[in-house]
Chains A and B, each alone.
Chain A
Amino acid sequence: MTLQIVTANLLSDGHVVYLDGDGAWSNWIESGKTAKTEAAAKKLMGAAELDVVDGVIVDPYLIEVARTGDAISAVEYREHLRANGPSIHPHFGYQAERPEK
């Protein structure tokens, strides 16, 4: 299976988030907890569905990611845009406030 992480949008502002290793939702794709197996992916989705019920996020789904060294990036360009904000307004996405690593 390919490497996958769970993404969703926050209920409060619709912003793109990723489920991280602590079960929290991060704005940054590289914080996403990866699943290498179907079972692991299912487990991540199960956790996400609980947060749907709790009204934290909406519409969670799995996306394919690629790992290069420590970095994780989206495979599909749609997901690349979600992770990086609108390419025509790079200053408007929350990504513009990304902290220096």
Chain B
Amino acid sequence: MYRYDEFDRTLVEERVLQFRGQVARRLSGELNEDEFRPLRLMNGLYAQLHAYMLRVAIPYGTLSSRQMRALAAISRKYDKGYGHFTTRQNIQFNWPDLEDVPEILHDLAEVEMHAIQTSGNCIRNITADPYAGAAIDEIADSRVYAEILRQWSTLHPEFSFLPRKFKFAVSASETDRAIVRFHDVGVILKRNAAGEEGFEVLVGGGQGRTPMVAVTIRDFLPKEHLLSYVEAVLRVYNELGRRDNMNKARIKILVHQIGAEKFAALTEDEWQYTRESELHLPDSEIKRIRGYFAPPAYQDLPDASDALENALEASGAFARWHRSNVAEHRQSGYAIASISLKPIGGIPGDASAAQMDGIAAIAQELSFDEIRVTHEQNIVLAHVRKDDLFDLWSRLGPLELATPNLSLITDVICCPGMDYCGLATARSVPISQQISERFSDLDRQHNIGALDLNISGCINACGHHHAGHIGILGVNKRGEEFYQVTLGGHQGYDASIGKIIGPAFSSGDIVDAVEDIVMIYLDQRQDGEQFLDTYRRVGSLPFKEKLYDVA
């Protein structure tokens, strides 16, 4: 795992001191709210409906057990004993007092964490594949490049006041687990015909009010140019992105308006100025950062595990969990285990302090002290011996963390919605809870198969509803909570944006509507199809007919 060097440590400690002074001046009245707001937002501190909210960055979603324990301790000491993992691989605390926040940031700095760039019009937390370093289909560990981008973007003076926020995602596998096509910039590590590694660079993706799938502006960028090229992308956006209208300020609007070709050409022009600068990324630097992400000290094991086979035979409950929550690992004898934060009827992404401590202890013993947080609001233990999977699962049960539903319909992505968020137009979590209860039967979930159901409480789309096979958007319709449904969204390399199926449903009708959609899919599907396949084949008409009684 990455460890802070003297630069990281110094800048994080200096920021804590600086913010301590700013909070003191706010509390003494020296600063008013207009002066203080941008300062607190630069430190991840939002004002929400019921209290302040502190968003803490988890770079590329990777945590050590020590860091997870520190998050648990913070939630106990300064909050209400829980945290909420978000769709940007961050964690949010919902109840900090203003005067405690500098102390929280201090406690975070002790474990090499912070809340810098978790808000504001800057480059946000760099996200990556949660299976990085373990995935069977990866070219390299995507976190190496995410870390390089993190270092480049942290407190980048030129990009501290962009037209709008800016999100990067990094993937290095054949399968997209980082939703790169829904980011302002996505980079995908690939190999060319000569076997050299380089990046496909995508720009202009995003969800929110105007959802767009990112387009490729460069098929193959040699690795050494990663920073100089994205610097050029940011320069073009910083200069030409709109600043007069917040809703049109994201890079996706610029790319859409001038066209991808024009944007690529402008980037190429700008790149001439940055290409041979100090941003050149030599192999030695990549190698140095790669050193931080060296594979753990795996044991030499046969791929098959008798212990696992016996446990699968002996325990149906374990076998069900294994079926959905365990993925193949690149190392013989190891597996990737996902811990669902989606208990039936629970709050997606929430974890109690006891659960965080429990996960930390299990990771320390069974997964080389390493934890991943996913944009789907689950936890991944990336390097578990197959021999240990039953032990791992046995320990998850008492923590209420053994829900066997990964990628099934109850594994809902959901933003906090109006229960907490000041921007929301409707509640989202209660709808996810009702859907989870309605589809709680595991045999039924498996029969339905892989289905991404995503819910957002407003147009900003933190709950990724545009990318859900079934997407639900909460809206305020004449003072009441209503829910608009989209179908056919998808988050892979072949990403698509869900299409609105028709008029919104009331809070009383939305769960029935979801069930109707599932019934139509089950009725229409052919052998081997998942929901998305069926939808793409049959289109929206059969669903419309059922939902709105139209022929």
Contact = CB atoms under 8 A, between A and B. Distances in A.
Interface stretch (A28-36, A37-45, A81-89): A81-89
Nearest to B95: A92
B27 interface: yes
Contacts of B29: 54-55
B11 interface: no
Interface stretch (B48-56, B268-276, B310-318, B398-406): B48-56
Given A52-B33, A87-B427, A88-B347, A78 B418 contact: yes
A93 B126 CA distance: 32
B224 interface: no
Contact of A15 (B51, B427, B476): B51
Contact of A59 (B27, B47, B97, B430): B47
B80 interface: yes
A12 B481 contact: no
Contacts of B50: 14-16, 82, 85-86, 93
B41 to A, nearest CB: 14
Contact of A12 (B94, B99, B347): B99
Interface in B391-429: 418-420, 427, 429
Say whether chain A's binding surface is mostly helix, strand, loop, or mixed.
loop
Given A14-B98, A77-B480, A92-B95, A86 B33 contact: no
B97 A87 contact: no
Contact of B49 (A13, A52, A82): A82
Given A76-B479, A77-B480, A59 B33 contact: yes
B267 interface: no
A98 B32 CA distance: 31
A80 B420 CA distance: 12
Given A9-B47, A13-B52, A16-B50, A86 B479 contact: no
A62 interface: no
B80 A92 contact: yes
A72 interface: no
B95 A11 contact: no
**Which 7 residue pairs are nearest across A and B when measured between Cβ atoms?**
A86-B419, A14-B51, A14-B52, A55-B29, A13-B97, A88-B429, A88-B419
Interface of A: 9, 11-16, 52-55, 58-59, 75-78, 81-82, 85-89, 92-93
16 contacts: A11-B27, A11-B33, A12-B99, A13-B51, A13-B52, A13-B98, A14-B98, A54-B29, A55-B27, A55-B29, A55-B32, A58-B47, A59-B33, A59-B47, A86-B49, A88-B419
